[in-house]
């Protein structure tokens, strides 16, 4: 696997394509671009440290030296107060498909760009055998 590439499960790829198709005319270009450049993996190929849909992730905001834990969810399950971030939110589409150790530069709502480093995938449906998620 190419360390500079993002990867997505077949199931997530199909569900996200269908989700984007249901939002006719709305601009989710960041997620579209991520899906277009992603490598698609079968369930058997999914590494345990890959951020897939419904994963719980701990990351470091390098500049602020702050660790945060979030769950990456579909829009209907999003709840910011519970740390459930929608895949359609800029942060959600930015971390989707990354692996532990990878970093991204991400522009926060305040306009400042910060580096986020993935520290841990503490829960991943595929690794836990939760194929229904």
**Residue 2 belongs to a domain:** no
2 has a pLDDT exceeding 70: no
pLDDT of the residue at 25:
60
Quick one: pLDDT band at residue 3, thresholds 50, 70, 90? low
CA 65 and chain centroid, separation: 21
**Residue 91 belongs to a domain:** yes
**Residue 132 belongs to a domain:** no
**Residue 96 belongs to a domain:** yes
**Residue 119 belongs to a domain:** yes
Is the whole-model pTM more than 0.85? yes
Q: How far apart are CA 50 and CA 57, in angstroms?
A: 10
pLDDT of the residue at 60:
97
**Residue 1 belongs to a domain:** no
Question: What is the CATH number for 32?
Answer: 3.10.50.30
Reported as a single tens digit per residue, the pLDDT across 28-78 is 877 888 888 889 999 889 999 999 999 999 999 999 999 999 999 999 999
How many structural domains are present in the chain?
1
Reported as a single tens digit per residue, the pLDDT across 73-127 is 999 999 999 999 999 988 898 899 999 999 999 887 788 888 999 999 999 998 8
Provide CB contacts within 8 A for 8, sequence distance 6+. Answer: 16, 35, 38, 39, 40, 41, 52, 96, 97
For residue 13, is it left (φ>0), alpha (ψ between -120 and 50) or beta? alpha
Domain extent for 112: 7-125
């Amino acid at each position: 696997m190419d360390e500079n590439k993002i990867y997505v499960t077949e199931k997530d790829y199909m569900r996200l394509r269908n989700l984007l198709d249901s939002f006719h005319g709305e601009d989710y270009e960041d997620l579209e671009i991520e899906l277009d450049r992603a490598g698609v993996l079968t369930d058997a190929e999914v590494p345990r440290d890959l951020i897939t849909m419904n994963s719980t992730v701990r990351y470091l905001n390098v500049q602020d030296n702050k660790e945060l834990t979030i769950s990456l969810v579909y829009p209907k399950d999003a709840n910011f107060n519970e740390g459930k971030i929608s895949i359609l939110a800029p942060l959600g589409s930015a971390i989707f498909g990354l692996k532990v150790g990878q970093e991204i530069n991400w522009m926060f709502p305040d306009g400042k760009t910060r580096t986020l480093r993935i520290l841990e995938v503490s829960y991943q449906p595929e690794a836990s055998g939760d194929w229904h998620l």
